[in-house]
Amino acid sequence: MAIEERKFTEQEQIRREKYQKLVVKGKDPYKISKYEKSASLTFLNKQFGNYTKEELANLDQECISVAGRIKLYREAGKKAAFVNIDDQDGSIQLYVRMDEIGEILFEDFRELDLGDIIGVKGIMMKTDHGELTVRVKEYTLLSKALRPLPDKHAGIQDIEEKYRRRYVDLITNHDVRQTFLKRSKIIRTIQNFLDSKGYIEVETPILHAVKGGAAAKPFITHYNALDTDVYLRIATELHLKRLIVGGFEGVYEIGRIFRNEGMSTRHNPEFTSIELYVAYEDMNFLMGLTEEIFKICNEAIGNPNVISYGGHQIDLFKPFNRLHMVDGVKNITGVDFWKQMTVEQALALAKEHNVHVEKHQETVGHIINLFYEEFVESTIIEPTFVYGHPKEISPLSKTNLNDSRFTDRFELFILGREYANAFSELNDPIDQYERFKSQIEEEAAGNDEANDMDLDFIEALEHAMPPTAGIGIGIDRLVMLLTNSESIKDVLLFPQMKPKE
Binding residues: 411, 418
DSSP for 357-397, written as a single string: --GGG-SHHHHHHHHIIIIIGGG--S-EEEE--BGGG-TTB
Distance CA 304, CA 261 (A): 35
DSSP for 69-113, written as a single string: EEEEEEESTTSEEEEEEE-SS-EEEEEEEHHHH-HHHHHHHTT--
Distance CA 414, CA 314 (A): 9
- 375, 329 Cβ separation under 8 angstroms: yes
With b for 16 or more beta-carbon neighbours within 10 A and e for fewer, the 197-232 pattern comes to eebeeeebeeebebbbbbbbbbbeeeeeeeeeebbb
Compute the half-sphere exposure of residue 42: CA atoms within 13 Å on the CB side of its CA: 4
User: Cα 55 to the chain's mean position, in Å?
Assistant: 44
Report DSSP state, residue 124.
E
Other C-beta atoms closer than 10 Å to the C-beta of 7 total: 7
Residue set of the binding site for Mg(2+)? 411, 418
**CA dihedral of 251, 252, 257, 263, whole degrees rounded to 10:** 140
User: Which of 172, 113, 97, 190 is closest to 478 using CA atoms?
Assistant: 190
- 143, 476 Cβ separation under 8 angstroms: no
